[in-house]
Amino acid sequence: MKLEKGKTVVGFAGLGVMGYSMAGHILNGGYDLLVYNRTKEKGLGLLAQGAVWADDPFSLAEKSDVVITMVGYPKDVEEVYLGARGIVAGARPGTVLIDMTTSSPGLAVKIAEIAAEKGFFPIDAPVSGGDKGAREGTLSIMAGGDAGVFEAMLPLFELMGKNIVLQGGPGSGQHTKMANQIALASNMMGVCEALAYSKKAGLDPETVLRSISGGAAGSWSLSNLAPRILAGDFAPGFFVKHFIKDMKIAIEESERMNMDAPGLKQAFSKYEELAAKGHENEGTQALFKLYGE
Ligand code: NAP
């Protein structure tokens, strides 16, 4: 399948924090864009720029050459792909189906198998880089699927991201994203603990960040989320509830592989505590609230 600007129709489902910006890049990149979201209001800005609305995943898929999804949870992925009015029911053979949601590797494999039987070309392609990466088109994209399909889709991926890597067959994009979330889990605790420690020690945490962000402890979270914490900005970003969903998948996968992951489990229990206190719809930087604001 060859992409052609002005001819290829891209259908995009899921216009939240991430999907809205990602779909916008595709429209600005010169492709015809069809959009669908559970809450239509979130798509109005894109419709004003020339995107066309589809009433459900079925209608989106039947008019699209490439379908991209960026919904919330694995159950949402299952619903938009495999539901009665879902993508698999609506798409024409030859359609490329790209799920960019962070979802379970097992579900990616299941969808890939069903898709292959029906003559679709599936790719799992979750991302990292946050709301900022989505807005700026600088996401890391970790893909799983057929190499030829991946290469054919590169011009679309390049509109949304910078570091775009095929990791292997179906499900390997999602496994790579789990490795990313495992690294992030301990890192988020480290960021919050470093800030809390700096305050207790009577230091100016902003000045501390100037020293430690560029050194061996540097990370995306330290550079981007620690300043939000210091500014009292706990808006998502990346929802606490979605991070909990990711860590649950990563714990299930690591247990399935008989691997212990104590850092991941500790972060998971901290984030569960945070959600139980009513912060599940805030950004992941709200973890700092457990350390005393
Ligand atoms: P979000 O703001 O909640 O966006 C998800 C969107 O999908 C919402 O607009 C939602 O509709 C729509 N949706 C969910 N289920 C649907 C369904 N069954 N049918 C139709 N539409 C549905 O979340 P987000 O922050 O963009 O994250 C999206 C995915 O990317 C998640 O899997 C997340 O873990 C992952 N991710 C997020 C980040 C980040 O920094 N935000 C970074 C990397 C990966 P409504 O508008 O009705 O809620």
The residues spanned by each domain of the chain are 9-169, 176-291
Cα–Cα dist 93/126, whole Å: 23
40 belongs to the catalytic site: no
What is residue 292's predicted lDDT score, i.e. its pLDDT?
A: 76
- Active-site choice (177, 241, 265, 277): 177
Task: Report the mean per-residue pLDDT for the chain.
Answer: 97
pLDDT digits (tens, 9 = 90+) for 83-104: 999 999 999 999 999 999 999 9
**In angstroms, how far is CA 47 from the centroid of its own chain?**
23
Q: What is the mean pLDDT of residues 165-170?
A: 98
For ligand 1, mutation pick of 38, 44, 249 (most atoms within 8 Å of CB): 38
Question: Residue 293 pLDDT more than 90?
Answer: no
Question: Residue 22 pLDDT more than 70?
Answer: yes
What is residue 156's predicted lDDT score, i.e. its pLDDT?
A: 98
Domain 176-291 has CATH 1.10.1040.10: yes
Q: What's the CA angle centered on 175, arms 58 and 100, to 5 degrees?
A: 30
Q: Whose CA is nearest to atom 39 of ligand 1?
A: 238
8-state DSSP, 249 = H
The CATH number for 9-169, chosen from 3.40.250.10, 1.10.730.10, 3.40.50.720, 3.20.20.150, is 3.40.50.720
Does ligand 1 have an atom closer than 6 angstroms to the CB of 125?
no
pLDDT digits (tens, 9 = 90+) for 126-138: 999 999 999 999 9
Does ligand 1 have an atom closer than 6 angstroms to the CB of 98?
no
Q: What is the mean pLDDT of residues 28-37?
A: 98
For residues 105 and 174, the answer to whether their CB atoms sit within 8 Å is: yes
Does ligand 1 have an atom closer than 6 angstroms to the CB of 72?
yes
Q: β-pairing, 121-124 with 52-53?
A: unpaired
pLDDT digits (tens, 9 = 90+) for 174-204: 999 999 999 999 999 999 999 999 999 999 9
pLDDT-derived band at 1, boundaries 50, 70, 90: confident
